Structures are given as structure tokens and as C-alpha cells.
Amino acid sequence: MRMALAHGTLPIKLLSTALAAALCLSASFAEAKPRKQSKAKSSSSQVAKSSTSGSGWRSGQSAIIVDGNTGKVLYDDNADALRHPASVTKVMTLYLLFEQLDAGRLNLDSDLPVSQRAAAQSPSKLNVRPGSTIEVEDAIKALVTRSANDVAVVIAEAVGGSESNFAAQMTRKARALGMSNTTFRNASGLPDRAQVTTARDLATLGIAIQDRFPRYYKYFSTRSFTYKGQTIAGHNRMFGRIEGVDGIKTGYTRASGFNLLTSVHDEDRFLIGVVMGGSSGASRDTRMAQLINTNMNRAYAGRRVTPKVTEVAAAAEPPPIPAPAPVREAKAVIAPLPTPQRLAYAADPVTTAAIAVRTPPAGSTEPIKPVAVKTVPISRPMPQALPAPTFAASGGPVPPAALTGASELMGPPPNAPIAAVAPAIAAPVAAPLQPVRTASAGPVTLPAAAAPASIPPAPTSAPRMDVAKLAAAEPKPARTEPAAAHRPGWMIQIGAFGAEREAKARLDLAQAKAKSLLGGAEPYTEKVTKGSSDLYRARFAGLDEKGAKEACRLLQRNDFACMTLRN
């Protein structure tokens, strides 16, 4: 019986084991295909939503360049995609602080108390101690240079009572300025999934803070300051790299990447640039430099035509802070304006002169009658010492010019044979005339266009005038530019530097990188003064339009800032 049962149970056990194995194998094949499909679906979903991770963080690159004079967007790349502002948040923190200064509720020397919570913030920080105070002006400079998170909370608590209340005020202010896609949850920009903005909104803030607080905006150009004996250096590397940069703020967190808001005033042009989500500080700065240099020539050069950014009436209570919303089309931040006309390159001033060419015969009382000749435009004279005076065919010096105050007269070259002069006078269009410099005002009379036999020969020598005195009497230009600056055609600029040796070194490196395109160009530096500092522009002259653009494209691919200029 037992044997039978044992023999009977053995097949049953084997059968059940085989059945279980079959079921497992079947299950394995059944799951293989769904797993593969799931992986493919996940991959496509990741591509479709590359800017939003599963944890809710917003990542990715975006950028915008706005012409501050017209409000026109010159370049945008995902400008309305939600991103985390990081420390660029502190621009809005200072906006609300500047309001308090403007209203007289605080002064630059007012003391702000430091709480335990403020002192405990994560770096970067100024390391202020709880229970101590910091003056408003030092607090402003600490945010601009070190981007101090502890000081940002000090400001928030002093103005809003608490950081959460202050963040609600920041969000309400953003809505009032038209920053419809911006939400703030703290004053420093430390990581928070719900604290989001866009490149377009930050460009609006960059213009608005200059419009509203021109006096206090100047703090954004602070490169370093001294606090309790320690020199605090700034993080903004755009100073000296791009000519005309006057601020304003960098930012970085792991979730946001490297961000930068930049303002540039170069003569009559005004650009605001935003770059977000850079992979490194260097790549972010390089991209900003390329965008500014590429679009500077497209910017409107003239008086501002767009109205200043103004605030709309805000609600009595701060609006609730929403969770991050999906990317949607943003409303226009800046009022639409007619497209301004580009200013043409101004031509050099044209100086013209007419020449009296008829002299009455000896003993005649007939008045001198001018004979019309061709008027030839001449280029602006280069600053240089005056040449020796020119003498007329009669043997005396040519009297200085008095025709419409012209300082350059058209006439034959000095001491030219009269036989060669007469045909040119008789038929002025036959050959180009040579400029003759004169020293002061007075009538100019040249010999009559009579037969060569009746014209006395030109003198072979004559007394010379004191050229040194004439040169001293002539007004000196404010700055003498290199000869290369006056070469016709096109030029390129590869940056402006704080020292001439840096500019020359950059020129040498650029010429080595683009030898095939810049071999015939003429490198030179040009010193300019911006505020209290001197900059040296690094330029190549003597190019045509096509060559200048090709050289810039090649240099930009090699991490050079480059822009083309028409000479």
C-alpha cells in the first residue's frame, strides 16, 4: 500500500513540477514584450517632456535677447518655457528693497536685524551672525556680488515680516509687471519646485528695475566691495568681456543649471539678454557673449521709443501661489510697437569747394568773375601736421580759404607746372583734382585760363611759412585713432578688455585660429573710456562684408566673441 502510494505520488509530483515550470516559462515570455514596449514608451515620453523630470523639476536651456529701445525680441529659444530662476531671484528681492528706499521707509545706512533662520541659510552666504545687524547698502552689495542667501532672508524678513509673506509680495509684484509665468516661494532662489519663471519674464524684470530705480540700479555694476575688512568679489564674468555691460545677475542650482541676466548699453543701443540652463558658467557666458555680439548690430541705435515698464494695479491680498503649471503660450510682456526703421550708417561729412579760376589781365578794372567748376567731395581729413603752404603761379603764397569756411580746397598740386594746370582749369572734369590745405580764411585766386604763353612761370623757390605755429593754432582732436580704424570696408571686433596686452594677445590668437580669413586684415586696439574705467577694443580692419562675416562665424565656433562693423 505504502509502496503503491509512493509510486503513485511520484508521477504526481513530477507532473506538478513540470506544470509549474511551464507556467513560469509562459509568464516570462508574456512579460518580455510589455517590458520592451514600456521602455520604448518611457523613452518617447522623456523626449516629449525633456524639460520636466518625473520629480517636478524644470530643466533645459532657454534664452532671449530683447531690444530695450523698441521692445522687439531679436532672438528667442524656449523663451516661455518654465525654468527655475536660482539666484536671479535676488533681482526681484532687491526690486522690493529699492521700493522701500524710494519711499523713504528705509535708508542706505538703516540697520537690518539678522535672525537665527536667516543666519542658518545654505551657501553662498556672507556668514552674518544671528542677533547682529547689517546696513542696507552692505546688504545690497552682498546680494549683487556674493549672492548671499542669508542676507536675502534678512531683507525678506525686514520688508515682509517673514520670508513666506515676502515671497507672496514678490509674486504679486511679478504679476503687476506682466511676468505672468513667474512664481516666487523664497527670496534667495534656493531650490523649490514651485519657484519658476521664464527667460521672457526675467527680461521684463531686467528692464523694469532700470526704468523704476535708475539711481539704485547702479549697484548691479558693483564688481567687489569690502565688508568688515574682507574683500568680497562678484561672480559676474561679463564685465570687461562685452563692451557696455552694466549688470546684472548670475544664478546657479543643480536643478536650474547656470543662469544669467545681462544688460548692455553701448552708445545708443540697449540690449537685455537672458540665458538659462547652461551646463557650466563658462559655456553660459560664451553663449551670452555670442548672442549679444550677434544681435548688437541689429539693435535700434537711437532714442528709446517703447514706453517704460509700468505696474498694473495689484490686488489687495497676495494671490495664492499655484503649483507649477504646464508650459503655455505667454502673453506679450512688452507693449507692441511699430517696427522702427534701422538707422543707416552715416557717411563721412562732405567738404566741397569751388575755385575762382579767372584773373583779369594786367591793368584791367574788370571785377573778378568766378567760373563754375566741378565740385568734388573729399573725405574727412586725418589729424596730422599741416604741410608747407602752396604758392600760386604769380609767385606769391596762396591766400587762405574763405569759401564757406572750408578747410580743404581743391586745386593743383603744389608747384605744379602751369602748362599742366591750365588744361585742368579749362576742362575741370578731365582729371581729378588734388586737395590743398590752407591755414586760415581768405579769398583764393588762381591764374586765368589763358594761353600758356601769357602765364608767367611758376617760381622755383619761395619763403616758407611757420608750419609749427599753424599746427599749434589748429584744434587738436580728443583722440587719434589708429590708421587701421579709417580703412574702408568692414571690420570685426572680438571683445573689449581691461588691459591693452590682453586685447593684443586675443588678436594674435584669433589671427592664428582664422589665418586663412584674417591673413590680410589689419589688427589694432582702440582705447575707450566707459565711466571710470578704460577698455581696449580688439579689432581687425580692412575686410569686405563677406570676409568679415565668415571670419566671425569661424571665430565663434572657436569660442571667440565676434561682431561685424561697417567702417
Q: What is the pLDDT of residues 135-145, one digit of tens each?
A: 999 999 999 99
CA distances from 205 to 44, 89, 333, 394, 420 (A): 36, 10, 10, 73, 70
Instruction: Find where cell 494671490 sits.
Output: 319
Express each pLDDT in 86-110 by its tens digit.
999 999 999 999 999 999 999 999 9
In this structure, of 212-226, 276-290, 529-543, the range with the lowest mean pLDDT score is 529-543
Q: What angle do CA 6, 7, 13 make, to 5 degrees?
A: 80
Has residue 392 been placed in a domain?
Answer: no
| Residue 467 DSSP code | H
Tell me whether residue 296 is exposed, middle or buried, using C-beta atoms within 10 angstroms of its C-beta: 0 to 12, 13 to 18, 19 or more.
buried
Which of 250, 265, 298 is the last residue before a domain boundary?
298
In CATH, what number is assigned to the domain containing residue 115?
A: 3.40.710.10
**For range 165-176, the mean pLDDT:** 97
Has residue 218 been placed in a domain?
Answer: yes
Has residue 83 been placed in a domain?
Answer: yes
Q: Reply yes or no on whether the pLDDT at 383 is more than 70.
A: no
Instruction: Find where cell 523713504 sits.
Output: 104
Per-residue pLDDT band for 17 (boundaries 50, 70, 90) equals low
The H or E element containing residue 424 is helix 418-426
Q: What is the pLDDT of residue 554?
A: 87
Q: What is the DSSP string of 354-406?
A: ------PPTT--PPP---------BPPPPS-PPPPPPB-TTSSBPPPP-STT-
Per-residue pLDDT band for 532 (boundaries 50, 70, 90) equals low
CA atoms within 13 A on the CB side of 405: 1
Q: What is the pLDDT of residue 314?
A: 52
Q: Give the active site residues.
A: 87, 90, 147
Spatial separation of the C-alpha atoms in residues 339 and 292, rounded to whole Å: 20
In this structure, of 207-216, 298-307, 495-504, the range with the lowest mean pLDDT score is 495-504
CA distances from 360 to 201, 325, 334, 448, 454 (A): 78, 92, 71, 7, 12
Has residue 221 been placed in a domain?
Answer: yes
Instruction: Find where cell 506679450 sits.
Output: 332
Q: Reply yes or no on whether the pLDDT at 370 is more than 60.
A: no
Cβ atoms within 10 Å of 489's Cβ, excluding its own: 14
Has residue 390 been placed in a domain?
Answer: no
| 297 contacts: CB under 8 Å, gap ≥ 6 | 563, 564, 565
| 466 contacts: CB under 8 Å, gap ≥ 6 | none
Report yes or no: 91 and 261 within 8 Å, Cβ to Cβ: yes
Q: What is the pLDDT of residue 221?
A: 93
Q: Reply yes or no on whether the pLDDT at 429 is more than 70.
A: no
Q: What is the pLDDT of residue 25?
A: 40
Cβ atoms within 10 Å of 480's Cβ, excluding its own: 11
Of residues 79 and 413, more confidence is placed in 79
Tell me whether residue 365 is exposed, middle or buried, using C-beta atoms within 10 angstroms of its C-beta: 0 to 12, 13 to 18, 19 or more.
exposed
Q: Reply yes or no on whether the pLDDT at 430 is more than 60.
A: no
Report the percent of the chain where pLDDT is more than 70. 59
Q: Reply yes or no on whether the pLDDT at 362 is more than 90.
A: no
**For range 509-530, the mean pLDDT:** 87
Q: Reply yes or no on whether the pLDDT at 53 is more than 60.
A: no
In this structure, of 179-183, 300-304, 464-468, the range with the lowest mean pLDDT score is 464-468
Spatial separation of the C-alpha atoms in residues 81 and 75, rounded to whole Å: 15
Instruction: Find where cell 513667474 sits.
Output: 182
Which of 244, 263, 298 is the last residue before a domain boundary?
298
Domain range for residue 508? 490-566
Spatial separation of the C-alpha atoms in residues 61 and 373, rounded to whole Å: 65
Q: What is the pLDDT of residue 481?
A: 55
Q: Reply yes or no on whether the pLDDT at 73 is more than 90.
A: yes
**For range 358-362, the mean pLDDT:** 48
| Residue 221 DSSP code | G
Of residues 387 and 109, more confidence is placed in 109
pTM, two decimals, is: 0.54
Express each pLDDT in 321-356 by its tens digit.
444 444 444 444 445 555 544 444 444 444 444 434
Has residue 288 been placed in a domain?
Answer: yes
Whole-number mean pLDDT of the chain?
Answer: 74
**For range 11-40, the mean pLDDT:** 43
| 553 contacts: CB under 8 Å, gap ≥ 6 | none
Q: What is the pLDDT of residue 312?
A: 86
Q: What's at 463, amino acid-wise? A: P
Q: What φ, ψ does residue 424 adopt, rounded to 5°?
A: -65, -35
Radius of gyration for the alpha carbons in the chain, expressed in angstroms and rounded: 37
The H or E element containing residue 165 is helix 163-176
The partner residues of 276 in beta bridges, in order of sequence, read 62
Q: What's at 16, amino acid-wise? A: S
Which of 269, 298, 327 is the last residue before a domain boundary?
298
**For range 477-488, the mean pLDDT:** 59
| 504 assigned ligand-binding residue | no
Spatial separation of the C-alpha atoms in residues 161 and 186, rounded to whole Å: 13
Has residue 476 been placed in a domain?
Answer: no
Report yes or no: 524 and 541 within 8 Å, Cβ to Cβ: yes
Tell me if residue 516 falls in helix, strand or coil.
helix
Q: Reply yes or no on whether the pLDDT at 427 is more than 70.
A: no
Q: What is the pLDDT of residue 356?
A: 43
Total number of domains in the chain: 2
Spatial separation of the C-alpha atoms in residues 566 and 348, rounded to whole Å: 13
Per-residue pLDDT band for 260 (boundaries 50, 70, 90) equals very high
Of residues 566 and 85, more confidence is placed in 85
Instruction: Find where cell 617760381 sits.
Output: 459
Tell me if residue 422 falls in helix, strand or coil.
helix
Of residues 304 and 327, more confidence is placed in 304
Burial per residue of 66-81, b for 16 or more beta-carbon CB atoms within 10 angstroms, e otherwise: bbbbbbbbbbbebbbb
Spatial separation of the C-alpha atoms in residues 32 and 539, rounded to whole Å: 64
Q: Reply yes or no on whether the pLDDT at 78 is more than 70.
A: yes
In CATH, what number is assigned to the domain containing residue 535?
A: 3.30.70.1070
Give a three-class secondary structure readout of 145-212: HCCCHHHHHHHHHHHHCCHHHHHHHHHHHHHHCCCCCCECCCCCCCCCCCCEECHHHHHHHHHHHHHH
Q: What is the pLDDT of residue 255?
A: 92
CA distances from 324 to 48, 164, 448 (A): 18, 17, 89
CA atoms within 13 A on the CB side of 114: 20
Has residue 355 been placed in a domain?
Answer: no
**Residues, the chain, total?**
567
